[in-house]
Amino acid sequence: MEALARALSKYRLDLGMTWYAADGGMRRARLTERGRRHVERLRETRNRDQVITISGRITELRESGWVKVKTGTAKNAPAYDVHFEVPEELLRMRPGLGDNVHFRVRFRQRLDSVGIARSTEYTYLGPAAEQPPLPVAP
């Protein structure tokens, strides 16, 4: 619906539809400027930020300042694309594929007015302290 409303808004068009319902009756609907504005308001987003720690191993490096960190060894283990706002900071760290890392990141979700996440991003804030190992009983 939002793609349709966006296309109609681009050309300032209204849409009228007529169809036959299952009971044989005729149904009609219109999407006017008022409806398009309503859809637009529903799409407006707000940021929800949280600082989290991502620990895992590096599975991908990009010179543009992106690192993929996989949190487990299973094929379906979560992986996070962490963005470095200053790519040189990543280069100074000299990371290698397979290195274990502990990053403190800003987790940002863009939520629409209904509370649905439209996008998520992870931005590097600094190194995180390693978790101390748990004591193992002999």
- Specify if 136 maps to a domain: no
| Count of structural domains, the chain | 2
Q: How confident is the model at residue 47, as a pLDDT?
A: 85
Residue 18, in any domain of the structure: yes
Tens of pLDDT along 45-93?
888 899 999 999 999 999 888 999 999 888 899 999 999 998 888 888 8
Task: Take residue 59 and report the two structure tokens written for it.
Answer: 């599975």
Rounded to a whole number of angstroms, the distance between the first and last alpha carbons of the chain is 60
Q: Is 133 helix (H, G, I), strand (E, B) or coil?
A: coil
Return the C-alpha torsion angle 117, 119, 125, 127, nearest 10. Answer: 80
In a domain, 134, yes or no: no
Residues 54, 19 share a domain = no
My answer on whether 116 and 71 are in the same domain is: yes
SS (H, E, C) 66-109: EEEEECCCCCCCCEEEEECCCHHHHHHHCCCCCCEEEEEEEEEE
Q: Is residue 97 part of a domain?
A: yes
Rounded-to-integer distance, Cα 127 and Cα 8, Å = 47
* Residue ranges making up the domain that contains 101: 46-127
Q: Are 92 and 70 within one domain?
A: yes
Encode pLDDT of 83-135 as tens digits.
999 888 888 888 889 889 999 999 999 988 878 888 899 999 988 876 555 45
Residue 137 inside a domain? The answer is no
CATH number reported for the structural domain that contains residue 72 in this entry: 2.40.50.140
Q: What is the pLDDT of residue 95?
A: 86
57 with 38, same domain? no
Burial 74-112 (b: 16+ CB within 10 A, else e): eeeeeebebbbeeeeebeeeeeeeeeebebebbeebeee
pLDDT given at position 107: 95
Is pTM beyond 0.75? Reply is: no
- Residue 33's closest CA among 12, 50, 19? 12
For residue range 12-50, list pLDDT tens digits in order: 889 999 999 999 999 999 988 898 888 888 888 888 899
